[in-house]
Amino acid sequence: MKLYDTLSGEKKEFAPWDGRTVRMYVCGVTPYDTTHIGHAMTYLTFDVVNRYCQYLGWRVKYVQNVTDIDDDILKRSARDGEDWDLLGDRHTRQLVQDLSALNVLWPQVFPRASEEVEMIVEMNQTLIEKGNAYESGGNVYFRVESDEDYGVLGKYSHAEMVELSRERGADPDDPLKEGPLDFILWQATQPGEPSWESPWGPGRPGWHIECSAMAMRYLGETIDIHGGGSDLIYPHHECEIAQSQHFTGKTPFTRFWMHIGMVEYQGEKMSKSLGNLVLARKVLRHHTADAIRLYLHSNHYRGAWNYKDNGPAEYEGLASLLREAMFIESGNSNALDASSYEDRFRGALDDDLNTPEAVKVLHELASDVVTCGARKHDITAAQERLRMLGGILGASGVVYGRG
């Protein structure tokens, strides 16, 4: 199995470092407007990673967080006049309902950032003691100049990182900072905001350190796969590498960085900020979960692609075919040998999770099962193989007889 690692810029052979358990952390939502198709593409992709790793015989410890306290959720809370925690609870429930309807295998750990403050404070203290962070005006910042490798993930120039940080919520001109790229680890409390006690006064965690704390608490100091949308490469994941490796003194923090390409809609990146969201729950009112999944998986996870309103409809036929193939009666002659389909299916997913090719193989296998079944051939073993392979792509029609 080879996966593309963003840090090295190469496809590399993947196996868990201990040979047994894949430790995977995926950056979750900020729960104030969920679940759009971009979210679905990310979490369904890692759902396939989870399922395929188990198929290969590994255990998977999968952690997906909820960023329930940060600038964006507090802005939405103030705008709508709804308590930040109740707002987060409501949208987290919606996320769980939406992804469950799309037949996701749930992570073993689903932590909330607001519940991890104790470890976040500990990390801040350690980084200050090591000289990698400093307190200023009740805030704590990471001192970027203390990390000579900062920028290794995104590979942007200093000037590009300054502009990207400005675009993505940071303030390079903050007078409390030593350098424009220094990022916040702890933020002093502001009027009307929730706060927790700390050695630097009441405040709340910075966004980046929340994920480092949760990843290391539940998966250890080195994890196998860290994933999220490609828009998180800088600054979020860049900052995670810096603070995590200086906190532990160990490298690497993550062995494989997997990033999902942006889903576009009507010519622009689908995002909350632009307001061009296609919500999964609305699509589920008109299309089966299998058709939605097959449509999304027909696009390779690393590339940007444009969502089409009629896209799921184009895969309803395949979803129906998969169900039909599982319920057609088997004959007792000329057994259909489906081993070559499994080999091709595995070959596709072994090649950096090539789900578009895997979907094609699944389609061919289902078609042959139906054809051979109609001719009274023995299709029992082929149906079992179809159930197994379809299950790796999360197609509920071949597993449960529904879509």
Mean per-residue pLDDT for 85-96?
Answer: 96
Same domain, 77 and 153: yes
Last residue of a domain, one of 242, 265, 288: 265
Q: What is the average pLDDT value for the chain, to the nearest integer?
A: 96
323 falls within a domain:
yes
**Alpha carbons within 13 A on the beta-carbon side of 362:** 34
Residue 159 and residue 28 in one domain: yes
DSSP 152: T
Task: Answer yes or no: do 206 and 325 share one domain.
Answer: no
Of 243, 307, 314, 313, residue with least CA distance to 285 = 313
Percent of the chain with pLDDT over 90: 94
Based on the fold, state whether residues 28 and 168 are members of the same structural domain.
yes
CATH number at residue 366: 1.20.120.640
In the DSSP assignment, the letter for residue 231 is G
Same domain, 34 and 96: yes
Confidence (pLDDT) at 315: 98
Q: Which of 40-44, 165-169, 262-266 has the highest mean pLDDT?
A: 40-44
Q: Could you give the CA distance from residue 81 to residue 75 in angstroms, rounded to a whole number?
A: 10
SS3 category, 12: strand
Structural domain range at position 121: 13-265
- Residue of 386, 279, 231 lying closest to 322 (CA atoms): 386
Is residue 36 assigned to a domain? yes
- Residues 256 and 118 reside in one and the same domain: yes
| 121 and 192 assigned to the same domain | yes
pLDDT at residue 273 greater than cutoff 90: no
Are 293 and 336 in contact by the 8 Å Cβ rule? The answer is no
Query: In this structure, what are the phi and psi dihedrals at residue 216, rounded to the nearest 5 degrees?
Result: -75, -35
| 403 pLDDT tier (thresholds 50, 70, 90) | low
pLDDT digits (tens, 9 = 90+) for 100-153: 999 999 999 999 999 999 999 999 999 999 999 999 999 999 999 999 999 999
The values of phi and psi at residue 357, to 5°, are -70, -35
Lowest mean pLDDT among 55-64, 267-276, 335-344: 267-276
User: Is residue 326, in this structure, part of any structural domain at all?
Assistant: yes
261 & 362 share domain: no
Cβ of 143: how many Cβ atoms within 10 Å?
A: 22
User: Are residues 259 and 364 located together in one domain of the fold?
Assistant: no
Q: Are residues 324 and 231 both part of a single domain? A: no
**Predicted pLDDT of residue 398:** 86
Distance, CA of 150 to CA of 246 (rounded, Å): 11
Last residue of a domain, one of 201, 233, 265: 265
What pLDDT is stored for residue 17 in this prediction? Answer: 96
* Cβ atoms < 10 Å from Cβ of 399: 16
Instruction: Write down the pLDDT at residue 106.
Output: 95
Q: What per-residue confidence (pLDDT) applies to 278?
A: 94
Any domain includes 184? yes
Is the residue at 293 inside a domain? no
- The pLDDT confidence band at residue 236, using thresholds 50, 70 and 90, is very high
* pLDDT score at 270: 83
C-beta of residue 47 within 8 angstroms of C-beta of residue 292: no
Q: From CA 138, how far away is CA 125, in angstroms rounded?
A: 13
Indicate whether 378 belongs to any domain: yes
Instruction: Give yes or no for a contact between 288 and 296, defined as CB atoms under 8 angstroms apart.
Output: no
**What pLDDT is recorded for position 341?**
98
Write out the H or E segment, with its range, that includes residue 44.
Answer: helix 37-55
| Total residue count of the chain as it appears in this document | 403
As for how many domains the chain has, the answer is 2
pLDDT at residue number 321 = 97
Which of 208, 239, 265 is the last residue before a domain boundary?
A: 265
> What is the percent of the chain where pLDDT is above 70?
99
Domain assignment present for 207: yes
Specify the amino acid at residue 153.
Answer: L
Whether residues 137 and 72 fall in one domain: yes
Q: How confident is the model at residue 89 (pLDDT cuts 50, 70, 90)?
A: very high
Q: What is the DSSP letter of 235?
A: I
Give me 156's structure tokens: 């942007």
* Inside any domain, residue 402: no
The answer on pLDDT for 274 being more than 90 is no
Q: Specify the range with the lowest mean pLDDT, choosing from 202-206, 249-253, 300-304, 398-402.
A: 398-402
**DSSP annotation of 279:** B
CATH of the domain at 244: 3.40.50.620
> Could you tell me if 249 and 363 lie in one domain?
no
Give the tens place of pLDDT for each residue, 170-185. 999 999 999 999 999 9
> Tell me, what's the pLDDT at 402?
67
Q: Is the pLDDT of residue 271 over 80?
A: no
CB 389 within 8 A of CB 341: yes
**Run of H or E residues at 70:** none
Cβ neighbours of residue 41 closer than 8 Å, sequence gap 6 or more? 260, 263, 296, 299, 301
